[in-house]
Structure 1
Amino acid sequence: MGEQAPETAKARELRAKVGDERWQRLVAEARRRADVVTKVIELRDNEGLAWVEAVRVTAPELHWSTFVHWRRRYWERSGPDWERLLDERVPPEPSKIPEDVRASVRALRVAKPSINAEQAEEALKKLFGADFSISAASLRRIWADAGLAYARPQGGAEPGETVEEYHGGGGLALVLAADIETGATEGLATAVQAAGKEVADAQTVVVKPAAETVEGGRDEAGRFPPLCNETWYGARGEDGLDERLAPDAIKRHGRELRTLPTLGMRASTLRYRLLAMGLMPLLTARRGFAGLEGPAGAWLELLGGHAYMPSTLSKGLAELGLLGVNDAIWDAHAKTWVNVVQRWTADGSRWLQVVAYIDASQDPYWTHRFASSCKVSRNGRVMPGLTEAAITAGPGVPLLAVTWAGTVSLKKELVNLITRLDEAVGDSEVGRLLVIDAELGTKNLLATLSFKLERPFITVLKGKTLEAAKFEPRSEWVEYRTRDTLRELDVYFEGSRDSDSDVPKEGLALRAVEMSRPGSRKPRSTVLVTNLAREELSTTEVADAYLSRWPHQEALFRNRRNGGGMNRSHGYGGEFIKYVALETKLERSRRRVDRAERALEQATQELTALEQTTAPPAEQGQPSPGNSTTKPAKTPAKKLVAAAKSQVRSKKQALDKAKRQLAQQETMPREIFARDPGRDNIMTCLKLNMLMLVEFVLKEYFGGPRMELRTFIELLVALPVTVRRTPTRIRYQIHPNPRRPDFNVRLRHACEVINQRRLRTDDRLLVYEVLEPPGKRQ
């Protein structure tokens, strides 16, 4: 069909001003308008409809004022129907670019073939003035007309783009997206600087260590001369410690805290450093930060910062310890992730939205010093170790954790930890129901939670706590799950007159749920105890809430040790403190020796008395003639003497054992080394922040697959990645895994999810994509 030639003068004038494609669009639109107007007029004339009703029937989406405008032009103008309704608006002619500007644009590309539009515009502003403006499309058009268009080589960079190839680290790029979306590490950095500045401002006096007051001080590179080191070694005491090994709480008095780089750096720089510290376990399994010396350490550049060396991160951790930001960094961590908890549990059970799990663990550390110890459950030994108590929210999100050296009173410390949790989460309902590990469920703690804190809880009774409980059945057995059964009990603990006990004199009455598995080879019951009424939490919900520890909290603990780096501690400082427990042990040993001596003396006296009263006459002691080969029968008196002699030997052995124990304890040091857990506490927070960022990647981007952290490291962190950076965009091109094509599909979907969220960092858009796998070799 040929072009529709215009008939009227206005139409011909319009045709001369527009191109062929635009004219065709104008004609098509004008004919559509003419059809609408003629149909409305026909309905008006033939059906008798009102104008508004006729418009509504013909073109429901057409506004009434628009139709009135079309109708007026249709009646008032001449010519064909469609020409009367032509859209006569013509876009203004683009302003012509002067030739001297065009020449300068061409010269810029000739001088630098890789220059892009943004860089060219900046150069032209310097040449023609700050008010000069030209669009990127005009620049590209000028270059294309002059045959200077840039053709990017295969795999090469675009104009103004920097390309970096990494042989691994693809998973770190995904974790970076999660961190930007949650703002988790940014919140930690902000809290660190705010708390650190408060500590620095409160510092009034700085007492320099003796080595730093040596004449000459540091050299130009900031290093101590040999004389300073000699002073350090000379200041060591009999315990082999000097001021460099003191706890951070003491060392901070000898440092000018206001001058620490941590307080002076930009918040974004501190954020990258903290994120690098937390991601360290994904890159190396070595102690401390030493493993970052390897090739994998270079992958930290993917985060947008530096590929930090181990010494830099160690120094940064030392500064955090000096500033004493332990509490601040944990409070910021809890405030960030409690919001995520509420989102992840919105569609779950009611109790899952309010539950928090409390557990404690003991981890060993190796030292040649006589150090504070605890019983490490994983090897069953009493040895130098660190005790950690952690609070984890419903879906397995760690909110707070505290580390102590050796053994502590968990009843007292848990109360403080719960109070801190309440302050951190604010009005959130997270933590309103506590699920406590059975090892912590003592009578005193249960009484404290019931009366002092008035906090609902669920725990399991075992050991001495179970033995001290009295039960009374309250319901029949009901089926639970596949093979288990449940029944309600009332549990009662007798009161205590001990001033240290929190159990009232009238006793402690609680509700219990007994779980049993009939028909098992070794039948045994598990008793769950709670202070919630049956109307608040049903029988099955009590069991569900406690057993949910395993898919939620215990999975977190498993990941912590299998790739999360929680089996390695940080920090080496500490101090020797008075070994208070030794005085108690010595007193007990002395009393034990006194009791053994009195017991031996009494047994000896009883033996002497027996021997005197049961001694036979002299003539009775001679053997009778003709019966010399027959052994005389042992009389009852002789049996008593033999028993008394055995008792004396037993008491003597007990005395010897008590004396050996006393002698051994008297040779023990009167001071014990207490490890400073401050730095380890900070690193625990950063590592758990990393674990939650990985969990965020799996839940939010991959759709929630169950994946161990070790699997994440091997499948994702090790993937090569190409990073392309421009002033407005950062593109992460993750190389696929040729051995898992099925997983590559899920990875592409995860990248699409991230791209839909339009994440930005430093005013640059983050773009994620998975490259096509290379072709097979022929």
Structure 2
Amino acid sequence: MDGGANGVKTLRAFKDSNEYFITILDDNQTKARKFKHIRDERRYKYGNAELVDCQIELLDSKDLGFIYECRAVIVKWNNGRKSVLVTDIPPDLLDASEITKKYFDRWPMQEKQFRDAKSGVNIHRIVGYGKKVENYDKMDEKHRELCEKIAQLKSRLKAPLAEIEVIEEELVDLYRKERTLRERSNIIEGKRVLDEADSNELEHCEARINKCLRQQKAIEKKDNDAFKRLKKYLKEEKRIRGKDKVYRIDTELDQIMTCFKMSFINLCSLFLTKCMGHERFELQTLFESIFQLGGEAVVDDERERIGLEMNPKEPELMGKLNKGLSILNTMDIHDLDDRFVTFDV
């Protein structure tokens, strides 16, 4: 499922279903406090990433206080990005690599039909792309300016940032303690079940965390505009980091080759319409069943006769092709040397 369809209410509906789900979470759904039972990182078998298998607790906004617990896979891509997948598929059925592959494989299989349709004559690829790497000076300059702005803001906010750093150090220990207590609990019918001592300790820990977060917000509120700009610049810097290189594209070569490809498609369409009685074939079928037929050509000064070898495994298609070539021979086709071209099977 897409990220837009993964409300907790929707995920809960799979409880009594015979089907499984895999979906991706938005950034605002992946706060560190929600994860527990975090396992060691494993290398992604099918790509450049590290995977972390764990459990996640999600709150149902439609049912106040309801806790939904399920499996999560944190995908840490080598380019610095992070994705979080959630699923109800048990680990003994699919490991983290298989979960990740299943989700991201759906894009070419379900949502790239147009690209697949163009791939028959390779017009989904840009000719001349990726041949030469060049410096992207504008992006490099933008990144440098952002870094300067970030440095200036950090210098200006040196005192409040130091206070926030102290609070964050305290939060690290509190988050670790909170996770340990949550891991001791069980989620039954959306409610946390924990013994009284641990329950009281968890409440106390959460109260201290909330107090620290309020203190942090109070510090940021004193320089609200500056902190907003700092967060904005940090987010933008992370987005454009490493984008100072681009591939040069030979657009003229791509346009020329695209003209040839589209001309070929039009000729195929003309052949199927005029000669094959509006038959419908995929380009791959045309290549495999017709264009790759063997044969020989006999050429003299006035005529070029092309004889194709019939494929005995496809007699019906060969019959249609024979009729189509008969019609094609009436179209007065000539080659570049003005020789009359005829076809037969």
- TM-score class, shorter-chain normalisation, is 0.3 to 0.5
Question: What is the TM-score of this pair, normalised by structure 1?
Answer: 0.20
Question: What is the TM-score of this pair, normalised by structure 2?
Answer: 0.42
